[in-house]
Structure 1
Amino acid sequence: MELRQLTYFEAVARYGGFTRAAERLHVAQSAVSAQIKGLERELGTPLFARTTRRVSLTEAGELFLHRVRRALDELDGARGDLADLAAVLGGRVVIGATAVVGSFDLPGALARFHARYPGVALSLRSGLIAGLLADLDSAEIDLVVGPVHHDLPSHFSAHRIVDEEMKLILPPGHRLTRADPVRFADLGTESFVCLSAASGLRAILDDAATRAGFQARVPFEAHSPASVRELVGAGLGVALLARSAAVAPGPAVAVRSLRPAPLHPPIGLIHHRDRRLSAAARACRRHLIAL
């Protein structure tokens, strides 16, 4: 039994005759007829009832057609998988990531992807979430790993990876280190260190302060969570940070819980909803969300 015989058989059944099937297949009608006759001899039963006016499936043909179409669908799927694999092996993926990715081991995940697909040109950019989303919007990067804020634009799609929580960090010896949790209302007289006014972290701080009845004073702006921690460690203020950044190696700071605790957005994998990912980027996305 040959693939060509199955393809010709399915075409005759689909188009209701040898002539139309031959036209669609761009072959001679005699070739189609010969292949079908050979298939029927091999199976030992007629697949079509032929009259001078029409061709119709026999009961055996109906049963056989179901199996043939399933086999051809599987074959088409296999061809697609192999085409995707070929594209992945020679593809390129650019990932943007914020400094805060919670407990997600992004370096380890990328290392495992690189070991599986060594031919993929894999690169990583870091930055704040707003800038990375702008790069995603302009197609400069393929995927973003970072906090998924509630106001994420609708043309982005996000898959949650891990949860994260917010902590307060204080300089060593600060008056509030004796309390745990710290009441947010008790921070009204403090100087805060934070990321830029356009950052998601600043929006969380401002909202939490407003709910506590005061306006947060931010005399010190930093470009990264690590810089926030350095300034707090030097005694220049207090700060809100994601737990993963608060307990990371760095200058000594006191880490405390807050009451009420501001919510930190979950860490997710974000891609552009309206732009089709390349085969390599799709493979990378599947790899990252499967971990």
Structure 2
Amino acid sequence: MELRQLEYFVAVAEEANFTRAAQRVHISQSGVSAQVKALESELGAELFDRSGRVARLTEVGTVALPYARQALDAVADLRESVDAVKGLVRGHLTVGMVTGCEITPLFAALAAFHREHPGIELELVEDNSTHLIGAVRTGLADIALVGVAGAPPEHLSAQVIASEGLVALMPLGHPQASEKALPLTELIAHPLVTLPAGTGIRTAFDEACVSASLIPDVVLVASAPGAVADLAERGLGIAVLSESMAKAHPGLVAVPITGIPLPALLALVWRERTSPALAALLPHCRREFGEMSFR
């Protein structure tokens, strides 16, 4: 008894027709008929009543069908289990990270994962968040750390790492440095230094400007938060960053920006259907980043 015989038997039973069953399993009708006859010969009983236009199960065929399905399911489970083990022995994971965003818990998670699964090749790529989200959706990246505005992207699983408001970062002697808060309508009157389009912070800022029909004076764009802050410190413009990014630059004054309704989010995103390797990485991410928001 061969697995293909069981497969063809189940196909004919479900299609009630040898021709349609042959199309389903991609071989000739004569091939299907021959294999089903060989199975019947081994069992010593006919599985189908072939007297009409429809292939009807005989009493023996009705009894045999669930056992044939169970056998095929068991083989499929066996193959899936073996593939899962192989995927953790030899595999590849592409991890995306928004440009200039050095988040040490991500590196810690990757290091812990590599110690457990040294045979899996890790590839770290940097890009803007829009491109990284697209790469995850299309399967070019397995998981990515991205910045978005308001909420994680739809139809992807996500862990929110941070949800923050935006601040204006400027030198101590700047005319606006003594303000407790800076309305967006006043901020745009000044030259600004920002992160690129496609980052969560820039998206939250741009959407607020569009909503209020404001046109900001962005004079410089830098891909790394540190570079944005450094340019502001040199007097080239007010930097627009998140609250946590501002804490890394105590020599500058951080003034909260009002009038920006959407928070800037930093989040890990991945497709709902995960590979064995990604499924093994996710617990390390949970542990290093905590359980702020996992869905």
- TM-score clears 0.5: yes
| SS across alignment from 1:257 | strand
How much does 1:204 deviate? 3.8
Structure 2 counterpart of 1:56, which letter? T
Q: Match for residue 145 of structure 2?
A: 145
**1:218-274: CA deviation from partner (whole Å, max 9, x where unpaired):** 223223122112223444432222344333x45533344332234245434256x9x
Question: Can you give the 5+ residue segments of structure 1 that lack an aligned partner in the other structure?
Answer: 38-46
Contact 1:102–1:242 (Cα < 8 Å) also in 2? no
Q: Match for residue 182 of structure 1?
A: 182
Q: 1 CA distance for matches of 2:128 and 2:50?
A: 74
Question: Would you say 1:230 and 2:223 are equivalent positions?
Answer: no
Question: Can you give the 5+ residue segments of structure 2 that lack an aligned partner in the other structure?
Answer: 14-21, 23-29, 287-295
Question: Would you say 1:282 and 2:284 are equivalent positions?
Answer: no
| SS across alignment from 1:245 | helix
Equivalences for residues 45-60 of structure 1 within 5 A: 56-57=58-59
Equivalences for residues 99-114 of structure 1 within 5 A: 99=99, 105-114=105-114
Q: 1 CA distance for matches of 2:146 and 2:137?
A: 15
Q: Match for residue 159 of structure 1?
A: 157
Equivalences for residues 227-266 of structure 1 within 5 A: 227-247=227-247, 249-250=248-249, 252-264=251-263, 266=265
Contact 2:146–2:268 (Cα < 8 Å) also in 1? yes
Equivalences for residues 14-53 of structure 1 within 5 A: 15=12, 24=32, 33-34=41-42, 36=43
How much does 1:14 deviate? 6.3
Q: 1 CA distance for matches of 2:186 and 2:36?
A: 87
**1:126-165: CA deviation from partner (whole Å, max 9, x where unpaired):** 2323554687799875543313469x99xx9633321532
Contact 1:172–1:254 (Cα < 8 Å) also in 2? yes
Contact 2:93–2:120 (Cα < 8 Å) also in 1? yes
Judge which range, 178-187 or 25-34, deviates more: 25-34
Residues 106 and 25 from structure 1, CA distance in 2 versus in 1: closer, same or farther, beyond 3 angstroms?
A: farther
Q: TM-score, normalised by structure 1?
A: 0.63
Q: TM-score, normalised by structure 2?
A: 0.62
Judge which range, 198-207 or 228-237, deviates more: 198-207
Residues 233 and 72 from structure 1, CA distance in 2 versus in 1: closer, same or farther, beyond 3 angstroms?
A: same
**Matched residues, percent identical?**
22
Structure 1 counterpart of 2:159, which letter? I
Figure out how many residues of one structure are paired with residues of the other and give that number.
Answer: 263
Contact 2:166–2:256 (Cα < 8 Å) also in 1? yes
Q: Match for residue 40 of structure 1?
A: none
Q: Match for residue 17 of structure 2?
A: none
